[in-house]
Amino acid sequence: MTSTHHPVRSIPDDREGPGPGPGPGLEGPHRRPARAAGRVAPHDDDALPALARLGWDADRPGTLTTPPEPLAPDVVVGRVCRAHLRAADVLVPDDDGTSLRVLTAQWHPRLVRETASDPRAVPAAGDWVVLRRTDRERTAFQIDAVLPRRTEVVRAEAGGTSHGQVLAANVDVAAVVEGLVPDLDLGRLERLLALAWSSGARPLVVLTKADLVTGTRSAVAEVAAVAPGVEVVTVATTLGRGLEPLREILAAGATIALLGASGVGKSTLLNALVAPTTAAGGGPMATRSLGVEGKGRHTTVTRELHLAPDGGAVLDTPGLRTVGLTAGTSLDEVFTDVTDLAGGCRFRDCTHRTEPGCAVLAAVADGRLTARRLESHRKLEREAMWVAARTDQRLRAELTDRWKQVARSQRRSPKRR
Ligand SMILES: Nc1nc2c(ncn2[C@@H]2O[C@H](COP(=O)(O)OP(=O)(O)OP(=O)(O)O)[C@@H](O)[C@H]2O)c(=O)[nH]1
Ligand SMILES: [Zn+2]
């Protein structure tokens, strides 16, 4: 394991507050004492262990806002485990506060309106939401608000809108999963790392199917070279080998999102991580304390947000065949090796193609940087620029349309003098 740095960047929240309705009052009855390192201990017998099991930790900076009022009787906080059209399955503490249940809640009409102009306002798997009961029987709930996200994994929407689609919210570790077999796709890895870094979560690379190759050292070195600052973990999931680093992350109460193409072994990995532990002390107790009740247990909760038996959660994302960059995707951390080299170029605006005194080309010439890596950087930068330009165009077009409408309505109803 190399020494890595994981700058935690907060996602600027440009939405107005936590949403509609009065503040949910997350301080007060749910207040937790300050805790070293800002982590949730597994099997915490503190207030609301069920919420802690979901990864709730009011002490983690930027996790949640803490409005002053206590929670209203009809209001409950939960975590989205699966998103639907205009609804979501939400894990909430049961009445006793120690176990969890799943309920399906419809969006508040304001959320419906918000999401029409901003797809990122859609409650996504991993989101903390405020639910309000809408009937006397305590069966129907509505999602009043999505709490500000600490991190979000975003990819370009299929339609190519400017906002992108949130694949996972409030992720602590964004794990890029790639198989050592049949082939390591470094380009795909770099693209997914761009998503991971841009999410604000700590990126991680998981190389699967280590049991199918003889020796992983060279592959790990190859991957480490294209993932500067990122820890690389090798696993043989089907043999249960190499999973300890991931289990440790989960046991600290963290949420791991798995990002990877179809077939790299995400489902297998997910199942291994969320299966009840058989180790002494961890097994039956851990499974019981999971306490997810209701019919959702075998249907709804079989996808997206899954709770691990000893704490923490794993977020599954659909097999990502193509991962488009969005206007918010940052490539800076993905290519620090190239940008560090570029600092040595003679010209500040060097394009690293033909210029004299180019430190990047020199590194390619003597083998410190692969030509593939440089080309990949170029390609992704071109794409990022193209996306940014398109986004601007869209925004410009939207603004122009709005001005035309305003002008029209003013012509129709001239001001009285
Ligand atoms: N030998 C070996 N096989 C593995 C390992 N991990 C996954 N596999 C196998 O690889 C195949 C694909 O794994 P999945 O977990 O289904 O892959 P996935 O990424 O979830 O793919 P989608 O479900 O299509 O998104 C399965 O046949 C697994 O049994 C591993 O570590 N070693
Ligand atoms: Zn240069």
Q: Are residues 279 and 385 in the same domain?
A: no
Q: Is the CB of 314 under 6 A from ligand 1?
A: no
Domain-terminating residue out of 93, 115, 150 = 150
pLDDT digits 0-9 by tens, 108-122: 999 999 988 888 899
Q: Are residues 157 and 146 in the same domain?
A: no
Answer yes or no: do 41 and 159 share one domain. no
- Last residue within a domain, chosen from 281, 316, 351: 316
pLDDT tens digits, 141-193: 999 999 889 899 988 765 555 568 888 999 999 999 999 999 899 999 999 99
ipTM confidence: 0.95
Q: Does ligand 1 come within 6 angstroms of the Cβ of 267?
A: yes
Q: Are strands 165-169 and 152-155 parallel, antiparallel or unpaired?
A: antiparallel
Same domain for 304 and 158? yes
Structural domain contains residue 252: yes
Q: Specify the pLDDT at position 318.
A: 74
Task: State how many domains the chain has.
Answer: 3
Residues 139, 157 share a domain? no
Ligand 1 and 208: CB distance under 6 A:
yes
Tell me if 324 is assigned to some domain.
no
Alpha helices by DSSP H, 1-136: 49-53, 109-117
List the chain pLDDT tens, one digit each, 417 residues.
333 343 333 333 333 333 333 333 333 333 333 332 233 333 334 445 777 778 777 654 444 444 434 566 788 889 999 988 899 999 998 877 778 889 999 999 999 999 888 888 999 999 999 999 888 766 789 999 998 898 999 887 655 555 688 889 999 999 999 999 998 999 999 999 999 999 999 999 999 999 999 989 999 999 999 999 999 999 999 999 999 999 999 998 899 999 999 899 999 999 999 987 554 333 332 333 333 433 333 322 235 899 998 889 999 887 676 778 887 788 989 999 999 999 999 999 999 999 999 999 999 999 999 999 999 999 999 888 888 777 776 666 766 676 666 666 666 655 444
Give residue 225's pLDDT: 94
Q: Is 104 in the pocket of ligand 1 (CB under 6 A)?
A: no
Give the up-direction half-sphere exposure of residue 122: CA atoms within 13 A in the CB hemisphere.
Answer: 23
Q: What is the pLDDT of residue 278?
A: 52
My answer on whether 349 and 284 are in the same domain is no
Domain end call among 117, 150, 183: 150
**CB of 265 closer than 6 angstroms to any ligand 1 atom:** yes
Sign of dihedral through CA atoms 10, 163, 144, 304? Answer: negative
Given a contact cutoff of 8 angstroms between Cβ atoms, the answer to whether 42 and 250 are in contact is no
Residues of each annotated binding site for GTP:
208-211, 260-268
pTM: 0.76
Q: Is 17 inside a domain boundary? A: no
Classify residue 162: in a domain, yes or no. yes
Is the same domain home to 161 and 287? yes
CA nearest ligand 1 atom 30, residue: 209
* CATH number for 146: 2.40.50.140
Task: Indicate if 311 and 395 belong to the same structural domain.
Answer: no
374: in domain: yes
Asked if residue 326 is part of any domain, the answer here is no
Neighbours of 13 (CB within 10 A): 14
- 170 and 310 within one domain: yes
Whole-Å CA distances, 42 to 30, 50, 68, 310: 17, 11, 28, 6
* Closest protein CA for atom 32 of ligand 1: 209
Which protein residue has the closest C-alpha to ligand 1 atom 2?
Answer: 209
Give tens-digit pLDDT for 184-241.
Answer: 999 999 999 999 999 999 999 999 999 999 989 999 999 999 999 999 999 999 999 9
In-domain check, residue 4 = no
157 & 259 share domain = yes
Q: Around Cβ 259, how many Cβ atoms within 10 Å? A: 31
Pull the structure tokens for residue 33: 């004492």
Q: How far is it, in rounded angstroms, from Cα 221 to Cα 225?
A: 6
**C-alpha of residue 268 to centroid of ligand 1, in Å:** 5
Domain hosting residue 384, numbered range: 336-412
Cα distance between residue 245 and residue 205, in whole Å = 11
Say if residue 98 is in the same domain as residue 236. Answer: no
> What H or E segment, with its residue span, contains residue 144?
strand 141-146
Are residues 113 and 210 part of one domain? Answer: no
> Is 321 part of any domain?
no
